[in-house]
Structure 1
Amino acid sequence: MTKACAIILAAGQGTRMKSKYPKALCQVLFKPMINWVTDWCLKAGIEEICVVTGQGAQYLEPVLPKQCCTVSQPQQLGTGHAVMMARSFIGEHRSSPILVLNGDAPFVDDAILNQALEQHIEQQAQVTVITAELGNPAGYGRIVRAQDGTVQAIVEERDATESQRAICEVNSGAYCFDADFLLDGLEKLGCKNAQGEYYLTDLVGIAVSERKKVCACRSRDEKVALGANDRAGLLKLNEIANKIEVDRLLEDGVNFYCTDGVVISPDAVVGRDTTLGPGTQLKGHVVIGEDCDIGPSTIIENSTIGNGCQIHSSFIERSVVGSGVRIGPNSHLRPDSVLGDGVKIGNFVEIKNSTLGEKTSVAHLTYIGDSDFGSHINVGCGVVTVNYNGYRKFRSKVGDNAFIGCNTNLVSPVHVGADAYIAAGSTITSDVQSNELAIARARQVNKPDWVEGYRQRELEKKQQSKGK
């Protein structure tokens, strides 16, 4: 198929969103709407993408994939005006069909894009409009067809007659244009309307008047027409998208006892016979193996989890977890943590930028940061790796089969050898060799009958102070 390119309109300020950020940055399932659109384009094989930005471009541009270039629309004077800003991009791609898409329409997917492109090319159209049938078309532009089924116009609801308002086929806001026609048509657009704006929909009327071929690619999925103008609309998009993802996981053999508070990224993959409890959120690129028990109230972000893991009421971000691992409740795996098979992370444990070998146990109330722990290590309650001196981070290493007693401080950088034993309450500032016992604490001194004398002295001091 002929290589296509795309123009994405993302200059809308989203005034009704009441946000300082562009509307296209509002998120559906933790993902900016603009990235839904760019990802669908890339999945459809469209790698030449021009994004039209407006105010707040400095927030939008960093999230765009490398395949995107940008042009600015300083004043928002309508969709036609936005495409005018991309004239040079269109001129550079005269041999390609030009898709024009809204940056806040997350459900115009690769399937409908390819369908529209195929139809556009096969029918040698100058304009192809992606449409949908809505049960309630209120607020949408209607597709007006002639008796032979050809598209005659797109009529906005405020301009529609009563019979036209009864039409259920609506404009999704997504189009495919012949590049030469698009450049020529942009020159003919006017702004003599109540809004004083240049409407892209007027190109359909121009094409019809010039006897150019106009097609409608009708989607069977009404979601392609959905966007969001305010927070309530954005919530609706999230609810629709999340139900799609929950249904997808159910089809894949994932178990839910209750979906309250469950939010699933479209980029999440979960193995069969895994259970996701209430309040579980999978954000970004998440891979979870089979036979896991996740939740309740667990957040996993951009991480990989092996088979047979139990993760309860915990937060995991940008980490890799092996198989048969137990985590939680109330634990935190911060970025760049790697846990081997069979590791145990108990309640109130924080791991950051560290590796733990297989079957190492960190049962409770511990911080491990910037460290490499081997396999079969027992880490007692209250152990802290002291990794920061106020200016730099330092790394420590603990060998296999070591025992780290309760309330131990490992002042990095230190190296604890394999099979070493650190006594409880120690502050370790020097390396401990393999098979050594390290004791680093003050020697206990017991003073017989000290308490009675202490109390008597304190009582006398109190009486003296009253007499003054």
Structure 2
Amino acid sequence: MSESSPIFAVILAAGKGTRMKSNRAKVLHTLCGVPMVNYVIDATRPLVPEGLFVVVGHQAELVEAVLPEDAKPVLQEEQHGTGDAVRVALAALEGEDEGILLVVNGDGPLISDKTLGELVERHSSAGVGATVLVAELEDPSGLGRVVEDAGVVRIVEERDATESQRQVRLVNLGLYAFKLSEIRSAIGGLTSENKSGELYLTDVLETIGRRSRAVTYKLKNPEEANLVNDRSQLARAEEILRRRILDTHMRHGVTVRDPASTHIEATVEIGRDTVILPGSLLRGQTSIGTDCVIGPSTDLQDTLVGNGALVEHSVGRGAEIGDRVSVGPYSFLRAGTVLEPGAKIGAYCEVKNSRVGAGSKVPHLSYVGDAEIGAGANLGAGTITANYDGEKKYRTMVKDGVFTGVNTNLIAPVTVGEDAYTGAGSVVNKDVPAGKLAVGAPARAIRESPQRRRKRAGRDGSAKNETEG
């Protein structure tokens, strides 16, 4: 077989995973925010496979929904074992007889592209019909044991193993490289004469071994041998992935003060010189700029954070936090929140579906929902937007330079004009004209606002100085 033989990758992802004790297919369980099967798919990509096939079965539609576009799902209508799964995949490869068939279990999220490359290289250089990835483990429980003798490799599933075979610590990791023509020929000879009544892919190894030899390749990095069959193994694998992710960020210039208490999902991006403080959880499509401080105890999901921002003891869900913005402690930014550069959201605030303008402040104890806050505004403590009348939600417009007194209630729909001012405890249910002071419940405009008066005084002073000059 030439070194340039085409590679066809098959991911086995049809099983239910009964030991997970879950209503969800095993390969759909996530590790650091990514479905288990997608880690395996990513590991095959550097080999540039001619075709990438994922055998689906249990909850097929749900599994197909998480697959990347370049992965072609192949349906195994009834789950009769790994041998049947490969048979289904080979049917999808009709007309292809030359090349390498790389078969990988979908429950091995820690496998690396480096290992898969070495497996294929070992297979190609040996010129054999089949190559099996194996590992020697201290605790081989739940895995098939490997017996190799004179070019013949046998895998004995644990449920079918004798007591002496159970003592063997060399195990099968469910990864194989086959000569495509050999696996096509051998797959039809499988039988279900075993305790589970399934077609085991491992049974073809003995057949191929006698015809064109089979060899093993021992895994170099034991971490990658952590297959996931139950929740305990899921947690163990996720911990390894979590640490890998943290190490990658730290090598790229991010400071993580306490890796043991910091959780960053695989899809998160973080700029250099940002500091992540203890107890922080960063998830989904969260992207953080440079020179930020995140945490302690901050939970951001699908949230964009600009450069130089501070977010402490707070929660973000689908929010946009601009450059040099300060958030927290103990604030909640809900979906649709946009904080423009230099804005401040202080302690115990909630912001939802609202834009807060550049340099504006919502210092503490406020709810801002469905609102547009202009630049340079200041919402006093306890200011809230009453955006819901029991049937519909309405928007509140707070223009540039507005100052609201403590405990102001803004009853939407309402507009507070530029440089307007509301007195403490005001209930604003009608528009406040620009540059006016409004007080009372309901609030009414009584005179010019302090900030408009200061601006006018400043203009008059400038004009007087110019005249005297």
TM-score if structure 2 supplies the norm length?
Answer: 0.81
What whole-Å deviation, never above 9, does each CA across 1:381-439 have from its counterpart, x for those lacking one? 22223334445443343332222333333334444443233333334344444333344
Partner SS state of residue 85, structure 1: helix
Aligned positions, number = 440
Whole-angstrom CA distance in 1 between matches of 2:245 and 2:32 = 10
Question: Which of 18, 21, 24 matches 2:24?
Answer: 21
* Conserved 8 A contact 2:110-2:237: no
**AA matched with 1:34:** V
**AA matched with 2:115:** I
Whole-angstrom CA distance in 2 between matches of 1:420 and 1:92 = 76
TM-score if structure 1 supplies the norm length?
Answer: 0.81
Aligned identity (percent) is 37
Whole-angstrom CA distance in 1 between matches of 2:185 and 2:273 = 57
Aligned twin of 1:84: 87
* Conserved 8 A contact 1:21-1:59: no
Shift of 1:350: 1.4
Aligned twin of 1:65: 68
Aligned twin of 1:38: 41
| 1:205 lines up with 2:215 in the alignment | no
What whole-Å deviation, never above 9, does each CA across 1:209-236 have from its counterpart, x for those lacking one? 2215x45454422233211222222221
Q: 1:6 to 1:382 in 2, by over 3 A?
A: farther
| 1:99 lines up with 2:74 in the alignment | no
**AA matched with 2:239:** E
* Conserved 8 A contact 1:349-1:365: yes
| 1:314 lines up with 2:314 in the alignment | yes
Aligned twin of 1:109: 112
Aligned twin of 2:55: 52
* Conserved 8 A contact 1:5-1:93: no
Partner SS state of residue 52, structure 1: strand
Query: Where do residues 363-402 of structure 1 align in structure 2 (5 Å cutoff)?
Result: 363-402=363-402
Unaligned runs of 5+ in 2: 445-469
* Conserved 8 A contact 1:90-1:183: no
Whole-angstrom CA distance in 2 between matches of 1:93 and 1:429 = 73
Partner SS state of residue 9, structure 2: strand
Aligned twin of 2:340: 340
Shift of 1:361: 1.0
Q: 1:432 to 1:242 in 2, by over 3 A?
A: same
**AA matched with 1:208:** G
Partner SS state of residue 348, structure 2: strand
Q: 1:38 to 1:352 in 2, by over 3 A?
A: farther
**AA matched with 1:85:** V
**AA matched with 1:193:** N
What whole-Å deviation, never above 9, does each CA across 1:90-141 have from its counterpart, x for those lacking one? 2276566433222221112333334444555566654343344545545433
Whole-angstrom CA distance in 1 between matches of 2:84 and 2:221 = 29
- The two structures, once aligned, show a CA RMSD in angstroms of 3.3
Q: Which piece of structure 1 moves more, 378-387 or 253-262?
A: 253-262
* Conserved 8 A contact 1:406-1:424: yes
Whole-angstrom CA distance in 2 between matches of 1:225 and 1:189 = 27
* Conserved 8 A contact 2:137-2:169: no
Unaligned runs of 5+ in 1: 445-468
* Conserved 8 A contact 1:34-1:103: yes
Aligned twin of 1:269: 269
Shift of 1:362: 0.9
Whole-angstrom CA distance in 1 between matches of 2:98 and 2:441 = 78
**AA matched with 1:83:** V
Query: Where do residues 225-236 of structure 1 align in structure 2 (5 Å cutoff)?
Result: 225-236=225-236
Whole-angstrom CA distance in 1 between matches of 2:122 and 2:156 = 23
Q: 1:424 to 1:106 in 2, by over 3 A?
A: same
Q: Which piece of structure 1 moves more, 35-44 or 299-308?
A: 35-44
Whole-angstrom CA distance in 2 between matches of 1:92 and 1:335 = 50
Query: Where do residues 280-291 of structure 1 align in structure 2 (5 Å cutoff)?
Result: 280-291=280-291
Aligned twin of 2:353: 353
Aligned twin of 1:182: 183
Aligned twin of 1:10: 13
Shift of 1:189: 1.2
Shift of 1:156: 4.2
* Conserved 8 A contact 1:41-1:47: no
* Conserved 8 A contact 2:355-2:371: yes
Q: 1:428 to 1:253 in 2, by over 3 A?
A: same
Aligned twin of 1:451: none
Partner SS state of residue 236, structure 1: helix
* Conserved 8 A contact 2:253-2:272: yes
**AA matched with 1:24:** V
**AA matched with 2:10:** I
Whole-angstrom CA distance in 2 between matches of 1:317 and 1:151 = 55
Q: 1:297 to 1:417 in 2, by over 3 A?
A: same
Q: 1:94 to 1:415 in 2, by over 3 A?
A: farther
Q: 1:43 to 1:399 in 2, by over 3 A?
A: farther
**AA matched with 2:23:** K
Aligned twin of 1:405: 405
Shift of 1:305: 2.0
Whole-angstrom CA distance in 1 between matches of 2:336 and 2:99 = 43
Shift of 1:198: 0.9
Partner SS state of residue 255, structure 2: coil
Whole-angstrom CA distance in 1 between matches of 2:434 and 2:20 = 61
* Conserved 8 A contact 1:90-1:179: no
